[in-house]
Amino acid sequence: MKLAVLFGVVLAAAPAAALDVQIKDVRGPASVVIATIELHELIPDRFRKTLDEGGVLHLRVQAEMWESRPVWDRLVYPALVRVLRLKRAAGDSVAITDPSGVSTTYPAARTSLPMILELGDPIRLTPAERYYVHVIATLGTIAEHEVDEVGDAVFGRPSEVNGLGSLGRLMFRTVLQISDYLQSVSAEARSHRTAGRDILR
């Protein structure tokens, strides 16, 4: 228990993480409410070595829209989660792969990444109520090869196991990945509270 408290104090005393997220705009005049965000200092120095050595970084972006209320705020849409993969590409560039598998290459010197997040149907917003968007961005490493190797030893290879073994493998990977992802760096932001009528305009 004392160790956990000490660890928390050390983290609090450490320099602030370079990763930063900014919410630029929230609009829903068409068929979907869109949040435009920008991630700054996308690859902090502590993670550059991982890319240089051929490793993969995972960027997890979670966005939620809330209705601001006097007592308990209300979640308007289910949380939107997007996970991107970052890997060193040819030369000194970085390839960023989105959830659909589309990969885009950027110069390594680029320190910001704009993103457009589709949150949900504007019909769920009321003009007179006020809303805000909460975004959490997490960048870290997931030891994919190590997880696969240990999983093979425990549950067998994917081509050799039955349904129960596959379920065990999935659960095992999830536990290990969550544990490894705790070594990541995160940033979060909240937008200004805005009237629904202004979002829908």
Segment 70-106, tens digit of pLDDT? 989 999 999 999 999 999 888 778 999 988 888 989 8
Question: Is the pLDDT score of 1 beyond 50?
Answer: no
Q: Is 102 exposed, middle or buried (0-12, 13-18, 19+ CB in 10 A)?
A: exposed
Cβ(116)–Cβ(33) below 8 Å: no
Helix (H) / strand (E) containing 103? strand 103-107
Cβ(191)–Cβ(130) below 8 Å: no
State whether residue 58 is helix, strand or coil.
strand
Q: Is 189 exposed, middle or buried (0-12, 13-18, 19+ CB in 10 A)?
A: middle
Q: Nearest CA to 65 among 139, 122, 137?
A: 122
Does the domain at residues 18-141+186-200 carry the CATH identifier 2.60.40? yes
Higher-confidence position of 137 and 161 = 137
- Supply the pTM of this predicted model: 0.72
